[in-house]
Structure 1
Amino acid sequence: MKVAVYYGKDDIRIEERERPTARGGEIVVRMLASGICGTDIMHWYRKRKAPYVPGHEMAGEVVEIGPDVKCLKVGDRVFVSHHVPCYSCHFCKAGKYTACETLHKGNYWPGGFSEYILVPAENVRYGTIVLDDTVSLEEAVMIEPFACVLEAYKRVEPQSQRNVFIIGSGVSGILHILYLKHHGARVAALDISKERLDYAKRAGADRVFSTDEFSQEALKDVFDGRFPDTVVVCAGAIGAIKTAMETVERRGTVLMFAVSKEDIPIPSVHFWRNEISILFSYGASPQALNEAYELIKSKKVDLGWMVTDSFPLSEIAEAFKTASLGGRHLKVICRS
């Protein structure tokens, strides 16, 4: 079978590997669509794992099941989560599933950018969703990134989700806007790209700012003369993080949904005197994945339009270059 192997920046190669076989509670899935995540093109973050097969936003068709699998059949279209918790450790028992060591270490093999994927029994049991016929492949690849957004808001107090400022209007930023507007929040968005701001408007943002026109006073005008209760960082630039820390209301929250290569300086005295919280969010629990799927299936949230570019697996190098361009290229996916 063909797989895409990441060796480094601008170095992704199509190679041949032996197709896996399902045993026990495992399944083999033929990849139909796999999304490029923003972290896939964070080369400083990914190079430590090279060479490896990336891809963790995968939907496909079950082509083989192990003898112990009773919940699925050959031909099912499925979404498969790459990370699942163990449900038995200290963190899982406390409901803190994204802190589970099993969740952090587990994965399907060899990765989402492969013609065929071997799904471990744990991922079959806890991380596989049979897709309704009404759910498109474009929507299916958005389940995991959207679930990460839902997971993040489980950590933000509900009263702090009413007035929100999104810094960075790429895929993550747009997903935050869509989620927040679904719940009736007032949302402002900031980005350097006009095309990305157009996407933010389409997602329902009440006000968008380019970096050239942005000011703190203009932001306050959106929220009745006050700063937003929550500022979400969806861009890894230090400048974006600095802006977030300067524009959050007293007793507000800075939600770090993106990370920078460098450690971030925190104005501790300012945060202390104004009781500002800073939160980080990683990954998604099975519960958030199911919630995301139900919102997508019910068409309460429309995500399919976010897929702007589609490439065959054989052209994955070009797909990664396109995803790195930003601008009008929002969500880029590969198909088998």
Structure 2
Amino acid sequence: MFVEPLACVVRGQRLAGFRPGATVVIIGSGVAGLLHIKLAKSVGTTRVIATDIVDYRKEAAHKAGADVVIDGRQNVPAKVRSGNDGHAADFVVTCTGDREAIAQGLASVDRGGTVLFFAPCEPTAKIELPFNDLWREEVTMTSSYAGSPRDIQESIAILSKKRIAVADLITHVLPLAEAGKGFRLVAHARNSLKVVLRP
């Protein structure tokens, strides 16, 4: 149940060029964001900073290994710098399609850094970019959608070798007859992460 989402994370971090010693900001600490935290820590990033607006998910980000967790309703770029020795991040991953959160991510990346867009917005959404700032600061922007067969193989290897733990991301296991409840838990996303339905 985690092979596919982890494969997407593997691909995203590969395309972004994650490297040991880097500082990473994860905007949004749902299942995808938590997998990004866990995988980033496993490859030796120096500091992982996570954001969310839901207390439950902020706590989950701490448990997943985030060194600093920021409430997304605060001044995220300023908090990133205060939690990172005055510097912005080498890599920023936006795991939410919220336009304000994406703007926070763009303002949290350091000179020469990379922003990975990992979640979609509403189909008709338009996002304003501070083009001259991004150009002057030599910021790379990339996106990632779905994992390739290569990424799926790597995901299977990571899970089989237990390089990262994922069982703690399962918050609810429900019988198929309670599928409606499961969908409501996911839709409200307040006290749940991965919801599993069993026949």
Q: TM-score range by the shorter chain?
A: over 0.9
Cα deviation code 1:111-132 (max 9, x no counterpart): xxxxxxxxxxxxxxxxxxxxxx
| C-alpha distance in structure 1 between counterparts of 2:166 and 2:84, whole Å | 27
Comparing 281-290 with 204-213, greater Cα deviation is found at: 204-213
Gaps of 5+ in 2: none
Greater C-alpha Rg = 1
Cα 1:177/1:269, change in 2 over 3 Å: same
Indicate if the aligned counterparts of 1:181 and 1:204 stay in contact, CA closer than 8 A. Answer: yes
Indicate if the aligned counterparts of 2:34 and 2:60 stay in contact, CA closer than 8 A. Answer: yes
TM-score (norm 1): 0.56
Secondary structure in structure 2 of the residue aligned to 1:327: coil
Please state how far the C-alpha of 1:265 moved relative to its aligned partner: 2.0
Cα 1:159/1:184, change in 2 over 3 Å: closer
Secondary structure in structure 2 of the residue aligned to 1:282: coil
Q: 1:190 aligns with which of 28, 51, 58?
A: 51
Question: Are 2:112 and 1:251 equivalent residues in the alignment?
Answer: yes
| C-alpha distance in structure 2 between counterparts of 1:169 and 1:161, whole Å | 22
TM-score (norm 2): 0.92
| C-alpha distance in structure 1 between counterparts of 2:20 and 2:82, whole Å | 18
Identity over aligned pairs, percent: 34
Root mean square deviation, CA, Å: 1.6
Q: 1:284 aligns with which of 125, 143, 147?
A: 147
Q: 2:89 aligns with which of 228, 233, 247?
A: 228
| C-alpha distance in structure 2 between counterparts of 1:298 and 1:325, whole Å | 33
Question: Are 2:159 and 1:296 equivalent residues in the alignment?
Answer: yes
| C-alpha distance in structure 2 between counterparts of 1:236 and 1:218, whole Å | 21
Q: 2:62 aligns with which of 201, 210, 224?
A: 201
| C-alpha distance in structure 2 between counterparts of 1:330 and 1:161, whole Å | 29
Secondary structure in structure 2 of the residue aligned to 1:252: strand
Indicate if the aligned counterparts of 1:160 and 1:253 stay in contact, CA closer than 8 A. Answer: no
| C-alpha distance in structure 2 between counterparts of 1:270 and 1:214, whole Å | 18
Please state how far the C-alpha of 1:212 moved relative to its aligned partner: 4.3
Cα 1:215/1:258, change in 2 over 3 Å: closer
**Structure 1 counterpart of 2:160, one-letter code:** K
Name the counterpart of 1:178.
38
Gaps of 5+ in 1: 1-140
Secondary structure in structure 2 of the residue aligned to 1:299: coil
| C-alpha distance in structure 2 between counterparts of 1:158 and 1:201, whole Å | 20
Please state how far the C-alpha of 1:318 moved relative to its aligned partner: 2.0
Cα deviation code 1:90-133 (max 9, x no counterpart): xxxxxxxxxxxxxxxxxxxxxxxxxxxxxxxxxxxxxxxxxxxx
| C-alpha distance in structure 1 between counterparts of 2:26 and 2:15, whole Å | 17
